[in-house]
Structure formats: structure tokens, C-alpha cells
Amino acid sequence: MDSDLIYNVLQAAVRTGTPLLLVALGETVCEKSGVLNLGQEGMLLVGAVAGFITTLLTGNLLLGFLCAILAGVLMSMLFAVLSLHLNANQYASGLALTIFGTGLSAFIGANYVGRPVTGLEPIVIPILSEIPLIGGALFRQDFVVYLSFAMTGLLFWFFKASRMGLIVKAVGESPDSANAIGLPVLRTRYLAVTFGGAMAGLAGGYLSLAYTPLWAENMSAGRGWIALALVVFASWRIERVMLGAYLFGLASILHLVAQGLGLAFSPSLLAMLPYIATIVVLVLLSSNPTRNRLYAPVSLGQPFYKSS
């Protein structure tokens, strides 16, 4: 394997991993507060279509990304009202969000399939991009990739050293205790869910405005679900979310490697790889109950009933 191939593969792994990273970061915050939002796939798709149409109509990429984020937030609010306010089952509400988002995005985007936009251009960061191998992979990327680096750092600090982060963890461990000492359980959970929505929306925008860039029905291809598995893989720890996202990115582009090496496989079979990898990872990381007990937010998926 020559160094060009390695370079291309690493760069593509980071690019491919970025939407996973964004979604998984948002979902980690959400799950840390005790809420499991299975609607990631739906929010991704709606974010993607909203961002794409906005940019197509206005020619403005920034506006496109903002609309993608807004769309993700609005979708997550639907989930939040159902699961936090009306205490609907979180699993069912998340599934509903995914089913609804898939249908909604396909409906809105029906007339925009295959239309081209100019995607986000890479920004080469001087000096850093000269580092052999990883320099090119990490620092010849577009703005959103850099933003994902920043978000990773910010969230790492958030959970390590901020009071808000402490509150999120406390609410996720025991909403009843948090309520008893006067912490705002519902507000915290609303904010966490909304943050998750914003991140999923941004990731959707990244898919349709930078990664491909175009709109196609169901274009997220299960990334929302893979991101959910990624959170489990990362044991709800920010730094491991990033690592996992790039590993999954790598698994998703193995067909490029295969082509580069001149191997011929059926594209359908290669397309299964990320999904198989997800299952393998889940098996490796879920089978140890001790580990889950230590790291999983205790109240994950449990509704909170406030008595007054």
C-alpha cells in the first residue's frame, strides 16, 4: 500500500467519521442526562434536506447549515415534548421521530433529488497540514470538520470541569435525587435533547452540503443508528466517541481500500461492512455487565415523574 493510498484513506475516514462524530456527541450529552433519543436518523435526514434546499435556493452555505441545525432542533423538540412532557415511552417516541423524519424528508425533498449544489470547500491549515500522514488527514478538511474538533474539545471540558456538565451527569444518574435537591430536571433534559437535535441537524447538513453534496432519499443510510451504537462503544466518554467515529469512518470506506488494492468485491456485500462492524462492536462492549453498570447513565430511558 503506498502512502498516497494511506493518506487518502485516512482523510476519507475523518470525513466519513465526521457526521457520525457530530451525531454521537449530541447523543452522548442527551444520554448523559438520562434520555435515549432513537430519532437520530430522522433528525439527520430532516437536517440534510432542510440544509440542502436552503442552500440550493439561496446559494448561501452558512444559511444552509443554520437551517439544518434549526430543523434538527425542531425535530428534537417534538421528541422532547412527547417523551419528557407527556412521558411517552422514549423508545417509541424516538422510533416515531425516525419514521416521521424519514417520511417528511423524502416528501420535502422529492423535487430536489439529484440537483447539484456547490459543497463546502476544504480549508488547508498551514504548518499543521504538513505533518506527515495525519496532518493531511486532519487539517486539509472543511470548516465543519474543524467545528467537530472544537465541539469534541468543548464537550470534554464540559463534562470534566463545568458545573453544567456536573448537573447533566447528576440528572442522568438520578432524576429523583436531582429534583430533591432542587436541580431543574426537565429543563436540563430539554436542553440536552435540543443540543442533540442541533448536532444531528448539523450532521445532516454536512451530509447534503459537504460530504456528497446532494440530496437523495434516505441518504443517511443508517448513520443515525450507527452513531447510537457508537455512544455505547465509547462508554459515554467524549474522547472515545471521537476515536470510535473515525474507526467507523474507516470501516465504511473499506471498499475504497479494496478498490485501491485492486480487489473486486460485490458493492452490496461491502456496503454491509459498517453494519456488521456495528454489531461486532456492540457484542464486544455490551457483554461485560460490570462495565455497563459503571459507565451507562443509570436513569437512561426512564421517564421522570415530578410530583408537586
DSSP assignment letter at 306: P
Measure Cα distances from 148 to 21, 144, 161 in Å.
7, 6, 20
Amino acid at 252: S
Determine contact, residues 28/234, Cβ cutoff 8 Å. Answer: yes
Count the helices and strands in the chain (H runs, E runs): 15, 2
Q: Does the protein bind other proteins through residue 258 (CB under 8 A)?
A: no
What x-and-dash track marks residues 179-198 binding other proteins by CB under 8 A? xxxxx---------------
Give the separation between CA 260 and CA 240, rounded to whole angstroms: 29
Q: Does the protein bind other proteins through residue 229 (CB under 8 A)?
A: yes
Shortest distance in whole angstroms from residue 93 CB to other proteins: 6
Measure Cα distances from 206 to 64, 69, 302 in Å.
10, 10, 32
Q: Does the protein bind other proteins through residue 276 (CB under 8 A)?
A: yes
Query: Cell numbers 437523495 correspond to what residue?
Result: 216
Helix (H, G, I), strand (E, B) or coil at 108: helix
Query: Cell numbers 470548516 correspond to what residue?
Result: 143
Choose which of 78, 117, 144, 200 interacts with other proteins (CB under 8 A): 78
The residue count for binding other proteins (CB under 8 A) is: 71
Determine contact, residues 17/182, Cβ cutoff 8 Å. Answer: no
What x-and-dash track marks residues 15-44 binding other proteins by CB under 8 A? -----------------------x---x--
Give the separation between CA 205 and CA 184, rounded to whole angstroms: 32
Radius of gyration of the chain (CA): 19
Choose which of 121, 130, 217, 239 interacts with other proteins (CB under 8 A): 217
Q: Which of residues 105-144 bind other proteins (CB under 8 A)?
A: 106-107, 110-111
Residue closer to other proteins by CB (options 137, 203) is 203
Choose which of 58, 60, 87, 118 interacts with other proteins (CB under 8 A): 87
Q: Does the protein bind other proteins through residue 245 (CB under 8 A)?
A: no
Choose which of 99, 124, 131, 263 interacts with other proteins (CB under 8 A): 99
Residue closer to other proteins by CB (options 17, 136) is 17
Choose which of 12, 63, 66, 100 interacts with other proteins (CB under 8 A): 100
- Interacting span for other proteins (CB under 8 A) from 21-29, 131-139, 202-210, 263-271: 263-271
Residue closer to other proteins by CB (options 148, 252) is 252
